[in-house]
Structure 1
Amino acid sequence: MPYGRSDVPLTDAATPVVYDVTRLVTRGLNPSPNGIDRVDFALARHFLAKGATPLVCTALGPRLSDTQKALATLEAIEAYWREAADADEDGVYHSVVAALAGEGAGPDAIRLDRKPGFERVSRNWRALRDWAFHLGRSISEAPNGAVYFNATQFLLDRQWYVRWLEARPDVKPVAFIHDLLPVDHPEFFRPIEATLHPRRNRNIARMAAGVVSASRAVAERFAAFATENGRADIPDCVAPLPVSPVFETPSASPEALRGRDYFIVCGTIEPRKNHLLLLNVWRELAKGGPAPKLIVVGKRGWLNENVVDMMTRCPSLRASVIEAGGLSTPGLRRLMAGARALLMPSFGEGFGLPVAEALAAGVPVIASDLDVFRELGGDAPDFLDPLDGLGWLQAVRDYRGPDSPRRAATLARMKASTIKSDPSDFFETIDRFVATIAARAN
């Protein structure tokens, strides 16, 4: 069952919702989703399945559209991402297994990308073109008293885009706040984000009737930001993200990988994810003989020249690091089953979905000692400082082999943990919050 599918509508159908699909319909050409894509997709399907009105920014500006048209686009995107497919249908997965088993084409095969068929690419190009020039209906036709839900903050930094909300004070905006990292750590992002992210969050602080966050840490940070910007009264809702049911389904390690040591790091390749630390760890490991394999799952993002140069030009890494862009979720789940651990050395996160996925799959996690990870995983993960290179080097050494005491201790903590994820809780929590916001007097 794909990520976030809800077979039973949970929100009161009487609550009018306008759901912004603008960012989502632009993601149909990306071979695999990132964390924000997954959240947006799950919420879009949830709200649209019970009749929410889709809003999309076209060449004519914000326009309302047809619910069935938006749902059809979601189905096309899901098929493109192959979220519901079997791992056996994923060419990237098979290439990773071959490389791990020593059957690949050698170091030159380090970067493994999914190359989707022409038919699927063509279909999504057509959908993107159709949305860009979609006439739709005037934004003035939005239902009276509706809740406008934006799960990505996309375009909320543009004054021309939010002008329709200023003209419709009866419509109650609700935004999903994923993090304020570009505000607090602009050095990890493109320079333009240092301007855009504060601006979009100031607009949210000024206009929002409510905000949703995946963690209490982010909710508290946004509350402080909103207070600094003159709004100390914004209702908030904390709804921890659910993981795809595929991660909670038992999965055996590929037979070809039995007894092989490998680790996984999952996330967009960008400075905040701290891939550079792991590459230096792996370069050090290679000095003592054959190193375990490191699978780097995620697309290339921004400001990553040092990481890409190391992966592609360092001889000792070319033999042990596999960059797997476009890996499907089922493929990731099956690879996780045989991994020694998921590594998450991030400098900052708003939630950390790969950590939740690994914990749900019963895979040990070695992660940065961040408040959000402790909120998510309790004491189960093995926590390290993201600057402690020697500590990460020792942890990887300790987790190697089938009889690792340190790995066994982490598994024991995971088994004893009472922190669980239930997808229905996520939707029910947001539904209750949206209904409460809708019921508030203007």
Structure 2
Amino acid sequence: PVEAEPGAAPIAAGDTVLILGKPWDDAGLQARLDAEKATVGFRIVELVYDLVPSLVPHLHHPSLTVPYTRQMFRQAQTSDRLLAISESSRRDYEEFCRRLALPCPPIDVIRIADRLGGIAAAGRESDALPAGVDEAFMLCVGTVEVRKNHALLYAAVKLAAERGIPLPQLVIVGGHGWLVDETWNNLTRDPAVRDSIRVLSSVDDELLDRLYRLAAFTVYPSKYEGWGLPVAEALAQGRAVAASSSSSIPEIGGDLVRYFSPYSVDECLEALVELSDPVARAAAEARIRAEYVATSWDDTAAQVRASLAALDR
């Protein structure tokens, strides 16, 4: 990897400014770029992850709704091209522009990498699991926040216990996010699920790779995504996946994933029971190994370069 030196770089006419980060964190950045673009004559290309704070604000922290929406508004007016990380995000951006009567820049869809690669290779040297994690477990990766919908998994595990349905232990990898105090309390303090649910925070890449590799299967109940990287990472590891049918998630693995509604405890539990069966799980894994094509960062970079090259045509 190449480390960039900090400091200002002059922007000349005909240059392309590529923004892959979070410009909404700097309230004045877009305005400064817009003003300089009008004077100098360069081009702006920005990456669009999702429109959660603008289109589904109840699933995000309220403090971001206004600055995020303001950023999207300015972005639509001044960008020469946008890169969306899913068809779902592209549709959402086009809908955002339609609602506000904004011109919508051309939008290319790129696929972000899902290979953990060498950064986590050391995790394959050990099969050791963290204390309290059972040998048979289902894995859910993602910050515990309202949008990620861990409350549905809690309800499904409780319902399984009530009905006497055996499930693998649920291992959640993620810290405490926003708007989930009740859910976090239930996941970590309910005596009835003390042995059935384990929450791990501050997991490094090595351990994450190991957990993906050793999990019976993974589950991802999110209500809304721009992509859904844990689904892609699990498929890249050959793991069977039960996931929400919401937004961008079906784009990742097509019919290789076992879907359920993010609002149905019964559907979620049915999917968990299905993948708990070793025969069904083995069949799913065989298809994934045969059909799923993982994406590298070189692949992603090539897509970005192709989109930038189109600006000159």
* TM-score, with length taken from structure 2: 0.86
Tell me, what secondary structure is at the counterpart of 1:366? Answer: strand
Contact in 2 for aligned 1:237/1:433 (Cα 8 Å):
yes
Unaligned 5+ segments in structure 1 are 1-44, 50-66, 71-135
Q: Deviations over 1:95-144 (max 9, x none)?
A: xxxxxxxxxxxxxxxxxxxxxxxxxxxxxxxxxxxxxxxxx44x7x3233
Q: Does 1:192 align with 2:67?
A: no
Tell me, what secondary structure is at the counterpart of 2:70? Answer: helix
Of 264, 267, 272 in structure 1, the residue corresponding to residue 139 of structure 2 is: 264
- What residue in structure 2 maps to residue 20 of structure 1? none
Q: Aligned runs of 1:255-334 on 2, under 5 Å?
A: 260-287=135-162, 288=164, 292-334=168-210
- What residue in structure 1 maps to residue 19 of structure 2? 150
Cα distance, 1:300 vs. partner? Answer: 1.7
What amino acid is the match of 1:217? S
* TM-score, with length taken from structure 1: 0.63
Q: Does 1:183 align with 2:58?
A: no
User: Distance in 2 between the 1:178 and 1:314 partners?
Assistant: 35
Q: Tell me how many residue pairs correspond in the alignment.
A: 306
Q: Deviations over 1:135-187 (max 9, x none)?
A: x44x7x32333222222332377357523432332122211110112222111
User: Distance in 2 between the 1:376 and 1:157 partners?
Assistant: 31
Cα distance, 1:417 vs. partner? Answer: 2.4
Query: Identity of paired residues, percent?
Result: 26
Q: Aligned runs of 1:9-20 on 2, under 5 Å?
A: none
Of 266, 274, 285 in structure 2, the residue corresponding to residue 411 of structure 1 is: 285
- What residue in structure 1 maps to residue 74 of structure 2? 203
Aligned pair in 2 of structure 1 residues 307, 253: CA closer, same or farther (>3 Å)? farther
Aligned pair in 2 of structure 1 residues 233, 205: CA closer, same or farther (>3 Å)? closer
Q: CA RMSD in A?
A: 2.9
Q: Aligned runs of 1:10-159 on 2, under 5 Å?
A: 49=2, 68-70=4-6, 136-137=7-8, 141-155=10-24, 158-159=27-28
Aligned pair in 2 of structure 1 residues 290, 382: CA closer, same or farther (>3 Å)? closer
User: Distance in 2 between the 1:342 and 1:406 partners?
Assistant: 14
User: Distance in 2 between the 1:161 and 1:426 partners?
Assistant: 25
User: Distance in 2 between the 1:189 and 1:233 partners?
Assistant: 24
Of 378, 384, 387 in structure 1, the residue corresponding to residue 260 of structure 2 is: 384
Aligned pair in 2 of structure 1 residues 157, 328: CA closer, same or farther (>3 Å)? closer
What amino acid is the match of 2:250? R
Contact in 2 for aligned 1:165/1:171 (Cα 8 Å):
no
Cα distance, 1:344 vs. partner? Answer: 0.5
